[in-house]
Structure 1
Amino acid sequence: MQREPAVTFRFATPHDADAIRAIEFEAGLRFIAVGMTGIADAPPMALDTVNRKIAAREIIVAIDARAICVGFVMFEPQPARIYVQELDVLTSHAGRRIGAALIEQVAQIARERQLTQLVLSTYRDVPWNAPYYRRLGFRDIETADLDAALIARRDAHIARGLDESRRVFMQRDLG
C-alpha cells in the first residue's frame, strides 16, 4: 500500500490568496447538502481581506506534495486566546486529518504566545461543524457564559444575516 505524501503547513503568502478564496468557495458549496444554500451562494472573502490577513500572518495554509494549497485556517489573536475565524479543506482532501492538523498549528501558536485557549463559532448541527470540533477537543460555551468580545461577535454575525439560533460558540483549553 502506497502511503499518501505528507502535507506541510506554513503561513500564507500573497501568492496563496486566490487559492484561499477558491477553497473557501468550494467549502461553502458543501452547505447545499444540508439545505443552507445562502452560505453556498455567498461570494468568497474579499481579496483585500485575505491579503490583510496574510500580511498579519493570520492564515496558515496546508500544502500537498504537488505544492498545491489544499486547506487553510484563518485566525485572530485576542487577549488570552486565539479566535479561529475559518477552517476549510478541499473536498478532495477531506478525511485526511488536514483540518485537525491546521487547528493544531493554531494551538501551537497560541501556546508559544502563552495564550490559554482557542475559541470559535460554528453551526451547531452541521456534521463538519460543531460535531467535528467536539472531536477535536472543543466544548460548547453556554450563551450566559459569553464574554463581551464574543457577544459583540455574535451581534456582528446577526448583522450579517447569520441565524445565531443555529450556531454555537466553542472553546478548547490548551494545556
Structure 2
Amino acid sequence: MTEEGAYRIRAGRPDEVEAVRAIEMAAGMLFRSVGLPEIAASAPSEVGEVLLRARAGRLLVTVDAADRPVAFAMFGEVDGTLHIEELDVDPDHGRRGLGAALIARIDAIARDRGLPALTLSTFRDVPWNAPYYARLGFVPIPDGDLGPGLAAIRHMIATKGVDVAPRLFMRRPVADGIEAK
C-alpha cells in the first residue's frame, strides 16, 4: 500500500470493535477545526453496529506493521450500490493514502458483486470530505435523485440531530479494470 508496505487492509474482526470506535472518535475530533464541534462531540458507532458489520464481512481495517487498526471502513449495499457508511483514519496516520486505499478495496468488492457504483454521505465543505472524495472521482447526487435507501439514510442522519443542509450524497462508478482508481 503506502510507506513500503507498512500498512495493509484486511477484514475487521469482532475483537477490534473498540479499536474501530477509538479511531472514529479520534477522527471526529478534527471537526472542531472546521467549526463542527457537535460532530467532534458525537458518540462513535454503537458497539453492536460495528460488531454486526465485522461479523457480516462489512468492516475493513487498515492495520499497521504490528497488525493494529489505524483506519477503517464500514459498508453495505444500498439502492443497488455499495454504500460507504463510515470511513475514518486515525489522524496520527493521516495523509498517507489510507482512505483512498480503503475506497479502492471497496471498489473491488463492488466490482466483484456486480454493483455499478459506490455511494457515500459527507460534508459538502469540509476539506477532507466532499472535496477529497471529488478528487477520487465521486460526484454529488442531487437530492431529488436519491433512491429510497439513501433518502432513508438522510432521514436517519437528521433524526440524530445532524444538520443535513451542509451534507450531500456522492456517487462514483465502479472501476472496470483490475486496478481501482
Same fold, TM exceeding 0.5? yes
Query: Which residue of the partner structure matches residue 169 of structure 2?
Result: 169
Q: Quick check: 2:79–2:150 contact (8 Å CA) kept in 1?
A: no
Larger deviation: 152-161 or 24-33? 152-161
Equivalent residues in 2 for 1:8-23, closer than 5 Å: 8-23=8-23
> Structure 2: how far apart are the matches of 1:94 and 1:86?
16
Query: Which residue of the partner structure matches residue 153 of structure 2?
Result: 153
Instruction: Determine helix, strand or coil for the equivalent of 2:165.
Output: helix
Alpha-carbon deviations, 1:24-61, whole Å to 9, x = none?
00011000001111111112112111111111111100
Superposition deviation, residue 150 in structure 1 = 1.5
Query: Which residue of the partner structure matches residue 123 of structure 2?
Result: 123
Structure 1: which amino acid aligns with 2:81? R
> Structure 1: how far apart are the matches of 2:26 and 2:52?
21
Describe the shift of the 1:79–1:141 C-alpha distance in structure 2 as closer, same or farther (beyond 3 A).
closer
Query: Which residue of the partner structure matches residue 97 of structure 1?
Result: 97
Superposition deviation, residue 5 in structure 1 = 4.1
> Structure 1: how far apart are the matches of 2:46 and 2:170?
26
Instruction: Determine helix, strand or coil for the equivalent of 1:92.
Output: helix
Superposition deviation, residue 78 in structure 1 = 3.0
Query: Which residue of the partner structure matches residue 58 of structure 2?
Result: 58
Q: Give the total of aligned pairs.
A: 173
> Structure 2: how far apart are the matches of 1:133 and 1:107?
13
Structure 2: which amino acid aligns with 1:109? I
Larger deviation: 98-107 or 76-85? 76-85
Structure 2 residues not aligned, in runs of 5+: 177-181
Instruction: Determine helix, strand or coil for the equivalent of 2:128.
Output: coil
Query: Which residue of the partner structure matches residue 7 of structure 2?
Result: 7
Query: Which residue of the partner structure matches residue 179 of structure 2?
Result: none
> Structure 2: how far apart are the matches of 1:93 and 1:17?
19
Instruction: Determine helix, strand or coil for the equivalent of 1:164.
Output: coil
> Structure 2: how far apart are the matches of 1:127 and 1:153?
22
Superposition deviation, residue 67 in structure 1 = 1.6
Identity %: 42
Superposition deviation, residue 79 in structure 1 = 4.8
TM-score by length of 2: 0.91
TM-score by length of 1: 0.94
Structure 1 residues not aligned, in runs of 5+: none
Q: Quick check: 2:79–2:149 contact (8 Å CA) kept in 1?
A: no
C-alpha RMSD over aligned residues? 1.2
> Structure 2: how far apart are the matches of 1:58 and 1:173?
20
Moved over 4 A (4+): none
